[in-house]
Structure 1
Amino acid sequence: MMNPVWTEKLRLFDQHLQLAARSPHTRKAYARDIAHLAELTRLEQPEQVNTIAVQRALAQLRYQGLSPRSIARILSSWRNLFHWMIKQEQLAANPCAGLRPPRAPQRLPNALSVDAAMQLLEHSSESKLDLRDHAMFELMYSSGLRLSETTSLNVSDIDLSQQLVKVSGKGKRERLLPVGSKAITALEKWLDVRGPHQEEALFVSEQGTRLSPRQLARRLEKWRQQSDCAQHVHPHMLRHSFASHILQSSGDLRAVQEMLGHANLATTQIYTSLDFQHLAKVYDGAHPRAKKPPKETTE
C-alpha cells in the first residue's frame, strides 16, 4: 500500500483528472500507474522523485517483462502527474522530461510467398462475379494497390492498350502504375461482361453499385477458400506481396517506393527486412556450410 503522502497526492491528482472530464477507466489507469511508481521508487513523497529514480523504475519494468507499449503508457502517466505538480508549483522540473520508453519491435507485414500468390491467383472461373474478383485481385497484386485505391478506381483510370492504371492515393497524390499482362487479360474479361452502368466504378456489385472495401475483403476470403490457399489472406497482403516480390527480384527500393506511393523512403524500408528473411531462407537451404550437422545418436 502507498504511504499517506502518495495517497493524498493521488487523490488531488484524480480530482484534477475528474475536472478535466477524464473517463473512469483512464483515471483508474493513472491511479494504477502512479501506485506502481511509488512502489518502484520506495520514496516517501513524489517530490523526491528525480530522473535517476524514474530511469531505475523503467529498468525494473523492463526486467518484469512488461511490453514496450505498456511501459510507454506508464511513463506517460508519470509524466502527466509531474506536469500537474509543476503547474501546482509543487515541483520545479519534470523528472520524466527527455526520457523515452523502449522501442517496440517492428512488426513486419505479412506477405505471401511467390508460390502461394500463384496458387491464389491461378484459380478462376467464368462466372461474372468470379471474373470481376479475379480482375480485382490480379490488379491489386500486379500494381500494389491499397484496398481503398482499388474500390475507388473508375473505368477511365485503366488504359488497357498502354497497360497502365491511374491511382489516387493518400493525400490525393496521383501515380501512374504499370499493369502486368495477367492482370490486363483478367481486366479485359471483366470489362467484356461488366455491361453498361451509370456508375463509373471499375468494380461494381451485382446491383451495379460501386463495390465497397468490406465487400471486396469478403470476396477475397471466399476466393482464398475456393483456391485451397491454406494461408489467411487479407486485401493489404496482396500489396505487401507485390512490394516484397518486386524487391526480391530487383533490389530497387526507390522504384518500390514510387510504385507504392510512399512519401517517405523509411516507410518502404520495412520490406528490406522481408527481403532479408527470404535471402536468409535461401542461404540456409543452399549453402553447404549453413546447414546444421545431424544430431549424434547414442546407442
Structure 2
Amino acid sequence: MIVSEAWQLYKADKQIQGYSSQTLKAYSVQLSLLINFFGDVNITDFTTESIKLYLGKVATELKASSLCHRIRFIKSLFKWALDENYVTTNPVASIKEPKLDSRIPKFLTEEEIELLREACDTTFEKALFEFMYSTGCRIGEVVSLDRHSINFSEQSVIVFGKGKKEREVYFNTRCSIWLKRYLEERKDDQQALFVTIRAPHRMSIAQMRYVIKQISLRAGINKCIHPHQLRHSYATTLINNGAPLEVIQNLLGHEKSETTRVYAYLSGQLRRELYKKFF
C-alpha cells in the first residue's frame, strides 16, 4: 500500500475517533512533506534509518516545536499502520522528540485588557471580547457555538474542546449583559452565536482573529495581539486570584496537568504573597 492510500484510511479512522478538521489539515501538510521527500512509496519501504536521515535533514531548518509536530505525525501514522497490520514493525518506535524549552505563555496585563475593552466599537465586538476573555475558550470552540447553547440563568455554556471533549465553561455578568444586547440586536435567523456583519453566517476562525486584531490596533497596544492571549490572560487572572491549578486545568480543558502548570510561572504577585506568608 502506497503512502497516499494509507493516508486516506488513516484519515478516515481519525475522523471516526473525533479528530478536529484543523488537526487533520495540519497532518495533511506533514504528509505532503513526507511524500515530497520520499515519493509516494510503499509504506513498508520506510526504515528507521531512512526516517532518521529525513528528520536529520529538516532538523536544521525547523524550530524544535515544528520538528516535534512532524515527528508526532509520523509516529501516529506508523502506529496506526502497525495496529492495522499494514506494516510488521514500527520504524519510528525508537525515535524521540527533541526536548523543548519551557515557554511562558504570553498574557495581557490588566491595563492592556482595559485598553482592549475600551477599543471595542460595537455591541458585537464587546460581546465577543468579553466572552473570549471571561470563558478562556479556544477560538475554535467559540466559532462552533450556537446561540441556543448559552445558559443565561447559570451564566454557562457547554463547549467541545480538543477531541470533541465536552466541558462546561462560565462567563461573568459583564459578558452576560453584552451577549444579551448583541443577540437582541441581531435580525438574522442564523443559529451561530457569532456571525459576520454582512450576509450573516457563522464566523470562521480567520474572521474572528481579524476582529480581535482590529480591536488591538485601535487600542494602540504596541505588541502583536492574538485571541489565544485572551485565554492565557484568563488563566493568569485565575491563578493570581488564588484558584488551584486543578480547577484551572478543568476550566481550560487541559488533558495534562503539565500544560496548566506553566501558568504558575505567571503568578508573580501570588508567589510574592505566599513567600511573605510562609518565610
Bin of the TM-score, shorter chain as denominator length? 0.5 to 0.7
Equivalences for residues 207-246 of structure 1 within 5 A: 207-246=199-238
TM-score of the superposition, structure 1-length normalised? 0.59
Q: Deviations over 1:100-132 (max 9, x none)?
A: 68623122221111221122113333xxxx211
1:203 paired residue number: 194
Q: Residues 167 and 33 of structure 1: is their aligned pair in 2 closer, same or farther, counting only changes over 3 Å?
A: closer
Q: Residues 188 and 254 of structure 1: is their aligned pair in 2 closer, same or farther, counting only changes over 3 Å?
A: same
1:119 paired residue number: 115
Please give the secondary structure, in 2, of the residue aligned with 1:177. Answer: strand
2:100 paired residue number: 104
Deviation at 1:98, TM superposition (A): 7.8
TM-score of the superposition, structure 2-length normalised? 0.63
Higher relative contact order (CA 8 A, sep 6+): 2
Match of 1:175 among 163, 167, 174: 167
Match status 1:159 vs 2:155: no
Q: Deviations over 1:165-205 (max 9, x none)?
A: 221111222212221111111111111111231x2101011
Alpha-carbon separation, structure 2, partners of 1:146 and 1:246:
16
2:196 and 2:203 in contact (8 A); partners too: yes
Alpha-carbon separation, structure 1, partners of 2:40 and 2:163:
38
1:295 paired residue number: none
Alpha-carbon separation, structure 1, partners of 2:54 and 2:170:
55
Please identify, of 267-276 and 147-156, the stretch whose mean Cα deviation from structure 2 is larger.
267-276
Deviation at 1:144, TM superposition (A): 0.4
2:105 and 2:232 in contact (8 A); partners too: yes
1:68 and 1:104 in contact (8 A); partners too: no
Q: Residues 249 and 208 of structure 1: is their aligned pair in 2 closer, same or farther, counting only changes over 3 Å?
A: same
Alpha-carbon separation, structure 2, partners of 1:201 and 1:19:
41
Q: Deviations over 1:6-54 (max 9, x none)?
A: xxxxxxxxxxx789689xxxx8x949969xxxxxxxxxxxxxxxxxxxx
Alpha-carbon separation, structure 1, partners of 2:175 and 2:210:
20
Equivalent residue letter for 2:111: D
2:246 paired residue number: 254
Match of 1:139 among 119, 131, 139: 131
Alpha-carbon separation, structure 2, partners of 1:19 and 1:147:
35
Please give the secondary structure, in 2, of the residue aligned with 1:175. Answer: strand
Please give the secondary structure, in 2, of the residue aligned with 1:244. Answer: helix
Q: How many residues align?
A: 205
Q: Percent identity?
A: 29
Equivalent residue letter for 1:184: S
Deviation at 1:264, TM superposition (A): 1.7
Alpha-carbon separation, structure 2, partners of 1:67 and 1:150:
31
Alpha-carbon separation, structure 2, partners of 1:270 and 1:172:
24
Structure 1 residue runs of 5 or longer lacking an equivalent are 1-16, 35-65, 77-96, 288-299
